[in-house]
Structure 1
Amino acid sequence: MTGEDKMNRIFVHIGIIAGLLLGGSLSVEAQKRPLDIEACTSWKRIDAPDISPTGRWVTYRISLMEYNPDSKEEKPLHLFDSRTRKEILLNGDIERLEFYNNDQGAFYRQADSAGVMKTFLLSLPSGVKAEWKHKEAFRPVEGTPYSISVTNVPKDTVNHVPAFNRLVVRHLKTEVAFHIDSIGYHTLYDGGRSILFIRRKSDGNELCYGPLAGPYKTLYQSSVKSEPSSYSFNEKEMTGEFNVNDSLWYAFSLKKPGCNLLFDRKEIVLPDGMAVGRIDLSKSLNFLILELRDSQQISRRREEPEKKPDKSFELELWTWNEMEVPTLQRGGRYRQDKSVTYIYDISSKKLTEIAPSTVDLLLPSGAEKLDYVLYTDESPYKTQREWLDRLPFDVYSVNVHTGAKQLIGRNYRTAPKWSMNGKWAVMYDPIAQVWNKFDGATGKVVNISDAIGYPMFVESYDKPAPAPAYGIAGWTADGNNVFLYDAYDWWKVDLTGERQPECLTKGYGRKHGKSIRKMTSNIDKDVFQKDETVIVSLWDKDTMDEGVYQLDMKGRLKKLMEGNYVYTIHRFSDNHKYCVWNRQNVSEFRDLWWSKADFSNPVRVTDANPQQADYKWGTVKLVKWTNYENKENKGLLYLPEDYDPQKEYPVLVQFYETHSGELNIYHAPLLSSALGDPVYFASNGYIVFMPDVHFTVGTPGQSCYDAVVSGTKYLIEQGIAHPGKIGLQGHSWSGYQTSYLVTKTDIFTCANIAAPITDMVTGYLGIRNGSGLPRYFMYEETQSRMGKTLWEAKDKYLASSAILEADKIHTPLLILHNDQDEAVAYEQGRALYLAMRRLQRPAWLLNYKGEGHFVMGRGAQKDWTIRMMQFFDYYLKGTKEPRWMKEGIHLRERGIDQKYDLLEK
């Protein structure tokens, strides 16, 4: 051994000892590597999470986030036992698994090697599998020892017996079965111990009921063939309705078994030339809703032969005042007139028109007594569809006794909602920005939100269209109170007018800066009983932390869990005792958790991405500064996990609109479809800055400048960013903003601009290739935020168009725009490239042929991710230049030489 070898071994031993003394931190850190393309294709997601009825079992699948058509990866169905913490894995293509017998069993269907579907029963918790051998389907009824299903008995040609359906009731343990033949529509009630069914007979059907095993009693015997075919049944009231031949309508009861005739449709005198298209009976059984059509028009349509077009040429005619431009007509958006709607009072036998054919009727379905109905009419605004974000409508009330109509609201954007009792309709007026109530007894409209004293509309809404309301949280069970949101709290509004509005949450949200909202789950409701509780989210608007709380109808809040996370509830068990949910933040993936319904005793079910520990990650923090409008501005700052404030790092400024609310969102490293992933960049030694942008209508570009440039200079002042090492990236709407910024400042070393609008004039007058919709609405009402037509604000449209200021761009540009972009015309991005080419400024245009607004092809995503990183690395890290940036790729080289290799300097 040479002296040099001995010295090397000494240094190795010293390093090992030092590592051990430091708790192994150096060796662990040294093993971590930056995220790369391979990592982007290895991250997994959790699909179809669910929980069993009793809450004992959690089911889910795990699959790759990045779709790979060549992958032969198994995606087994996992059954996690919350008691033992063990799992059962079911491989193969399994149809939906269902639990039965109080979670002591499960069943599913799966094809065998010959493609024949078979049903398998799984004994739990052992996992022992058995095949269901019987001909009928396996349909266990919870709470009973039976499987109950219908099977078809084929026609017996020998004995001349026609085919019929047989209801098979099979005992799960003994496997002994009995059956009901010729069964039609049927319903189990009384916990599955009794049955209501239609027995099909050649001379007229029977409506029968009784214990599941019999004997059965006949409630009604029809003399009309194949009638009745169905019925409605209210198990709670043990009552129902059916009709015979859509003419005779009956009500029945199982409390005092019997049925009585409600009305005979033949007694209804229809207007001349009208035919019934549809008929519905009210829940109160007091009236009918009928849709009537022109009978002659219907017959003419049936008789008219199909007309064949002249194919010798095709003319596309655009007419200035037609309802829709041809690109929308091809999408089948023409709305044909519907039926005229009438109401028929069964007791008085009076028929009254309540809605013309061009409107949408809003019925108070819960009303016991009906005096008024509402309808919405968009016909005055139809020709404005192309420059309004959501087509407005007017609201009318109709007296059902007289047919008198009254206009009660103009230019509405969201439909009124009836209370549960049908006495009140609550309506948001977007112009006045108030909530009104419509009194279903008097027909009067009254403001119900001014007394609250706080805005009920979204105050931060910065688009030209009318600001939406914060929304409705729900109703009291009696229907006399509605719960409305303000920015923070819940307000209980008494619709009877007897009490002033009261803050259900007692101002807790506003006092603590937390927005209180219902959480979405399988048990969330819109109607609350007096003793009911509801799961709500408390989101801190300052720290972005979230809490999960329980709110009762007295306004008391109980904390269940809280932290620097975003929480999602997937499902509560049927007994409401347990639930499955996830949480996430920048470093914690959305793994599944099981817990009690109050989120106590949580158990982590999955660890979908353990490989994260092998990679350098990132951290994120919320930053605040004063922007050029002298307002507080927020943004997110992603840092490498080993960030050292004494070092200089390349900075990527990336944004869209607002991002601070995404502080606790987990970013899985994926191949890029447009923008780069902030954690991917942080892992590779970048700082990523994502400033919030709040817009002033008419000057969106300047609003972006005031927020983004001020934030970038703030980072420079703090020593976080350094001139010469700051990149910029934006896509679509932020692609527009990015193109605008580089005409106004040279603070950015390089910029990636993807799918941008660079010319607002042609952008405004363009048509979206995907929807066929003219783009006026985006400028006049929504994202582009101009707020006026091109001719009302010529100077602002011109001043906002980057293409006219391209000569002021000194920043090297990487432009991504694909020729099949369905949202922004490819010519917009190409025009910016051509301007830079004519000006002889550094610019590259990447067009992935056949791709749209986003890069979706896996190969193209991989290529784009590589080139994007190489571009930023070259300008911001000072790495060697990739050959494609130096030489380009000629038509003859496409797909042959990608030129990823780096040139020697």
Structure 2
Amino acid sequence: MTRRILFLLLFLITSLQAYSQKKLVDTTDFGKWAYVSDPGISNDGKYISFTINDQPYPSSIMVIKKTSTNWEKRIPNGTSVKFSDDSRSAILKVKDTLQIVNLEHGQTQSIPGVESFGLVKFKKAEWLIYHPGNIAVGLILKNLKTGQQLTLDSATDYQPCPDGKSLLVTQNYKDKIGEQELVIYDPELKISKSLWHGPNPYFIIFDNLGDKIAFYTGSSLECYKLATLYIVDLNTGEDMKVTLQDLGKSEDMTFNANFYDHYRFSNDGKRLFFSVSDQDGPIKPGNGVKVTIWNYQDAKLQSCQSDPTLAKQEYLYCFTIKQNKWIALTNEFESIPYNCRFSRNRKDDYIVVERIEGNASEFYWNPKSKQKVTLVSTLTGERKVIKEESKDYLKEIEISPNGNYLVYYNCANRNYESYDVQTGIVRNLTSSIHTNWGNINGIPSMQSPLGILGWMQDSRKILLKDFKGVWEIDLERQMPPVNFITPNYSNRIFTILRSNGNNIYQYGDILIFQGYNLENKSCGFYKLELSSGKKMQFLSEGPYQYQKNYSYYSTLGPNELMKAKYSEDYLLTRQSASTAPNFFLTTDFKKFKQVSKVYPEKGYNWITSELHQYIDDKGERQEGVLLKPQNFDPQKKYPVIFIYYTESTDNLNKYYYPEANGGYINFPWYISNDYLIFMPDIKFDSVSTSGESAYHSVTAAVNYLTKKPWVNQNKIAAHGGSFGGFETNYILTKTGVFTAAMELAGMTNLVAMYGSIFTPYGNSQTVGYDIGMLRMWGTLWDKQQNYLDNSAILHANKITTPLLIMHNPKDGSVPYEQGLSFFIALRRLQKKVWMLEYENQNHIIYPSNRIARMDYQIRVKQFFDHYLKDRAMPKWMSVGVPAKFRGVDNGLKLEE
């Protein structure tokens, strides 16, 4: 017994010494933290690649690794790695040197002076194509298997042909300076065939069969109105052309060659879809008085019409090649819904068009923002109205793969419906299902259905996704809906992890889902076989996060999950609050093999995270995340900073990097230096304003946490930004419990905010208050008291907490005047208040301005250190910095 006690004491002492020897995070670590990036996996799954950055700073090391052994190759400053199709080679660049790594033997061949490269497969041979930096040499082709090398001296660009046998080469035309030639080149036979020559062909596309190409020509890419659209038959060499004059369009229009989704051949190759658009800026320059005329009858505010980022009006056309005629498919104010874009997996005889003249955000009151949905034949231009103008939008509209049905979510009845293209019959598909199809936050303006997961192969059934499950729905309602989720998983939220790529399924297919556990916030994986009687099958779960930021609405991105082309090997990223993101391999989502090991936090007093659940004074459960240092000592008294926005517990397992953030404080810096951070979820309801809900949830968290013996209840602070800044300002008018508070870019005067706009977009902000995130539950005139009660500036006299504000003059979301007027009010009331204003910065400080970000982080830390740790005041707080010394004396020196 005595030995065991001695052993435990020795272990405890050793552990404490180890923690005491660990470094503390400080500003010298910002932007220099090691991390992994750029994952890749070979087609057979036997090799992976990734980059280790900043180990040490500022190095970059490309790692190519065999997954079944310890073999790896490290290449300093390697970039742009590509695996060959047969997985025998890896090709990458080191500066301007191309390196070809033989993965079977490990040898490397170097080719200096390379500008760019690509891999193309012809028949059974794979070729490396690269462009030397030497302007005298065009393209060099190298057979990876035989080593055979070919040179195309005058080539400037290339595209592989769909037939897999040849290359479409753009080269300088030898007979006329300034023109280029399109040539079909067969590298095996070394035969070239000239197709066309003329000025500057660009945006070249093929039809599915590889029989035709289309492209634009013009004197420059910027001058689309002078462009000509060409269609060339690769078999006969015949060409056709279309100009704006042929379409009857004026000089105020341009070809919109960037409109990729709608610039394509039809699936049968008989038609070409393309678009034209309005020009940027005024139609014609004028010498008249530059007066902006705001008219209540305008569909959109003048500020919206002047938005430089506003999408130009697109007009979609269909050109029938054999008949040499075109059909206009869209008119003014019409656009193609996102899910209705053309696809190779769907018949393109019809296109869905929606007409919204005004801003969609004003749907609930502006008659010109109503939505009209029309089905248009791409063969004849004939139109069928699916829904007349209505403020109740149809969302997530999709056309079935066979083109016989439309399926959409109807906001009017909150159900999915189908439309039979042939008969015009509309069927409510989900009236018998009582579930939440997507509006998880209860905000009327944010009805965001998750949409269609996929189509069964016969196009008569669809798979619909809600937050808790997958439903199989018969489009003609001859069979009842089938739910594939077992009731045991009712506390999970599922998002599709990997589909088959075309969203068309057959019975027996396997779908992999990410499951988020609402109780403990763990993430895991589940498998669903699309068969009768099958239910979701559990694979694994743990205290990890597989996305940078977890969201109910999104799945893993392309760099967060990759699959080998010819095997069931998956490469994914995993992280937790205490361990940095690294790459893992799996074949079954049950067992995971770690393939990168970059843990920069190991030498530091790092973060641990805990989920806390507690009961508020209404008897309701509340939740929050507590971040503590690894060397946490329950015998000490810690200062706590409460940070909030909406939901924080979803990112319980998020890894935070030491960096100079432009908004919220940097968590690792504070935690490592003996602060605690608590992030409560804000629990909203359908009655309370957002300010009331935030006050209730945050004070519940304060009441809970300050009862802990290791919390110094006299040293607690509040911190929020943007919407969280609004919450902070409101809370400070209701309680003096906080020792200090810091808010950035928060709203303070909701009456003024109601009449403001977002810049540069020009949209009115009223929707956020009427039916949006601020939850005023009505207009300024219907719910005037809500606006007055939630305007902190009207209650500034009640604030007793020292407050630091950051609000920048270029803020396009919350006008700068909101912060400035609040500061002036508090100053007039002789409250303790400071305001930071960074020149030319926006809602946050831009990432490009690292110096300003660092300055901001240091000042906020000095502010909290003074009030929560009794450190000396810096000069900028105690006496200020006169305007004439701005940029000269930073005032960061502490008072003695």
With normalisation by structure 1, the TM-score equals 0.79
2:392 maps to 1:408: no
SS in 1 for 2:80: coil
Equivalent residue for 1:359? 334
Partner of 1:310: 287
Q: Is the 8 A contact 1:389 1:777 kept in 2?
A: no
Partner of 2:550: none
The 5 A counterparts of 1:197-216 are: 213=188
Q: Which amino acid aligns with 2:546?
A: Y
2:837 paired with 1:861: no
Deviation at 1:18, TM superposition (A): 11
Q: Separation in 2 of the partners of 1:50 and 1:590?
A: 15
Matched, 1:615 2:615: no
What is the CA deviation profile of residues 761-814 of structure 1, one whole-angstrom value per residue up to 9, with x for unaligned ones? 111222334433332233234332324332332222111100010111111111
**Alignment pair present for 1:491 and 2:459:** no
1:851 to 834, 838, 841: 841
Match of 1:551 in 2: 528
- Residue 838 of structure 1, CA deviation: 1.1
Q: Are residues 1:330 and 2:309 paired? A: no
Q: Alpha-carbon deviations, 1:846-883, whole Å to 9, x = none?
A: 22333322234322322322222222232223333334
Write the mapping of 1:322-721 to structure 2, written as runs, cut at 5 A: 322-332=298-308, 338-339=314-315, 355-361=330-336, 362=340, 373-379=351-357, 384=362, 393-397=371-375, 403=382, 405-408=384-387, 410=390, 411-412=392-393, 414-458=395-439, 460-510=440-490, 513-519=491-497, 526-554=503-531, 555-568=534-547, 569-593=560-584, 595-599=585-589, 602-610=592-600, 612-627=601-616, 630-695=619-684, 696=686, 699-719=689-709, 721=711
TM-aligned CA deviation for residue 73 of structure 1: 2.0
Cα separation, 1, equivalents of 2:501 and 2:275:
38
Pairwise CA RMSD of aligned residues? 4.9
Task: Name the amino acid aligned to 1:544.
Answer: K
Distance 1:212 1:836, change over 3 A: closer
SS in 1 for 2:48: strand
Q: C-alpha displacement at 1:547, in angstroms?
A: 0.9
Give the whole-Å Cα distance in 2 for the aligned partners of 1:174 and 1:273: 52
Rg larger in 1 or in 2?
A: 1
Which residue is equivalent to 1:130? 109
Any conservation in 2 of the 1:323–1:383 contact (CA below 8 Å)?
no
Taking a change above 3 Å as real, the CA distance of residues 678 and 520 of structure 1, as seen in their structure-2 partners, is farther
Structure 2 counterpart of 1:820: 810
Find the aligned partners of 1:52 and 1:826 in 2 and give their Cα distance: 51
Structure 1 range deviating more: 28-37 or 385-394:
385-394
| Amino acid of the structure 1 residue aligned with 2:865 | D
Matched, 1:119 2:104: no
1:878 aligns with 2:864: no
Q: CA deviation at 1:432?
A: 1.7
Residue 656 of structure 1, CA deviation: 0.7
Q: Distance in 2 between matches of 1:485 and 1:776?
A: 31
Q: Distance in 2 between matches of 1:672 and 1:272?
A: 52
Q: Which amino acid aligns with 1:764?
A: Y
Report the Cα distance in structure 2 between the residues aligned to 1:517 and 1:693, rounded to whole angstroms: 23
Question: Would the alpha carbon gap of residues 520 and 764 (structure 1) be closer, same or farther in structure 2, given more than 3 Å must change?
Answer: farther
Asked whether the equivalents of residues 481 and 493 of structure 1 are also in contact (C-alpha less than 8 Å), the reply is: yes
* Per-residue Cα deviation, 1:135-177 (whole angstroms, up to 9, x for no partner): 997746388455375999x9xxxxxxxx999996757435366
Match of 1:103 in 2: 87
Instruction: Measure how far apart 1:635 and its partner are.
Output: 1.5
1:17 Cα deviation after fit:
12
User: 1:590 & 1:685 partners in 2: Cα distance?
Assistant: 24
The correspondence of residues 134-213 of structure 1 with structure 2, limited to 5 A, is 139=119, 141=121, 144-145=124-125, 147=127, 170=143, 172-173=145-146, 175=148, 194-195=165-166, 213=188
Residues in 2 aligned to 1:224 and 1:640: alpha-carbon distance in whole angstroms: 68
Q: Which amino acid aligns with 1:637?
A: L
Higher mean C-alpha deviation, range 327-336 or range 463-472: 327-336
Counterpart position of 1:784: 774
* SS of structure 1 residue aligned to 2:793: helix
Residue 672 of structure 1, CA deviation: 3.6
What do residues 501-520 of structure 1 show as CA deviations (whole Å, max 9, x unaligned)? 1012344532xx11222115
Is 134-143 or 632-641 further displaced after alignment? 134-143
Deviations 1:621-640 (A, max 9, x none): 22223345553222212233
Question: Counterparts of 1:342 and 1:363 in 2: how far apart (Å)?
Answer: 14
Q: How far is the alpha carbon of 1:717 from its aligned partner?
A: 4.1
What is the letter of the counterpart of residue 303 of structure 2? T
Paired AA for residue 853 in structure 1: H
What amino acid does structure 1 have at the position aligned with 2:874?
P
Give the Cα–Cα distance (whole angstroms) in 2 for the partners of residues 273 and 886 of structure 1: 66
Alpha-carbon offset, residue 564 of structure 1:
0.8
Q: Deviations over 1:638-665 (max 9, x none)?
A: 2333434444322211101111111111
Q: Following the alignment from structure 1 to structure 2, what is the Cα–Cα distance between the partners of residues 140 and 290?
A: 27
Q: Distance in 2 between matches of 1:293 and 1:199?
A: 25
1:55: how far off? 2.3
Alpha-carbon separation, structure 2, partners of 1:104 and 1:559: 36
In structure 2, the residue matched to 1:3 is: none
| Cα separation, partners in 2 of 1:388 and 1:37, compared to 1, 3 Å | farther
Q: 2:649 is matched by which residue type in structure 1?
A: S
**SS of aligned partner of 1:849:** coil
Aligned to 2:75: 90
Structure 2 stretches of 5 or more lacking a match?
1-5, 176-180, 216-227, 256-261, 548-559
Give the Cα–Cα distance (whole angstroms) in 1 for the partners of residues 442 and 25 of structure 2: 37
* Alignment map for 1:292-311 (pairs within 5 Å): 308-310=285-287
Unaligned runs of 5+ in 1: 1-15, 66-70, 112-116, 155-162, 253-258
Are the counterparts in 1 of residues 689 and 777 from structure 2 also a CA contact under 8 Å? no
Q: Percent identity between the aligned chains?
A: 23
Distance 1:22 1:198 in 2: 70
1:11 is matched with none
Corresponding residue pairs, total: 835
What is the deviation of 1:212?
7.0
Provide the C-alpha distance between the structure 1 equivalents of 2:20 and 2:159, rounded to a whole number of angstroms.
Answer: 68
Work out the CA distance in 1 between the residues paired with 2:39 and 2:502.
Answer: 21
> Aligned pair in 2 of structure 1 residues 56, 215: CA closer, same or farther (>3 Å)?
closer
* Structure 1 residues 375 and 137, CA gap change in structure 2 (3 angstroms): closer
- Deviation, 1:87, is 3.4
Q: Deviations over 1:428-479 (max 9, x none)?
A: 1123211111112212221111122323232x32324152213322222332
TM-score by length of 2: 0.80
TM-aligned CA deviation for residue 734 of structure 1: 0.9
3-state secondary structure, aligned to 1:574: coil
SS at match of 2:704: helix
Alpha-carbon spacing, 1:289–1:806, altered in 2? closer, same or farther (3 Å) = same
Does the CA-based 8 Å contact 2:716-2:740 persist in structure 1?
Answer: yes
Distance 1:412 1:18, change over 3 A: closer
- Structure 1 Cα separation of the partners of residues 113 and 858 of structure 2: 57
Residue pair 1:323, 1:382 contacting (<8 A) in 2 also? no
Deviation at 1:816, TM superposition (A): 1.7
- State the SS of the aligned residue for 1:28: helix
Residues 859, 448 of structure 1: alpha-carbon distance in 2 compared, 3 angstrom cutoff: same
When residues 95 and 902 of structure 1 are mapped into structure 2, their CA distance, relative to the original with a 3 A threshold, is closer
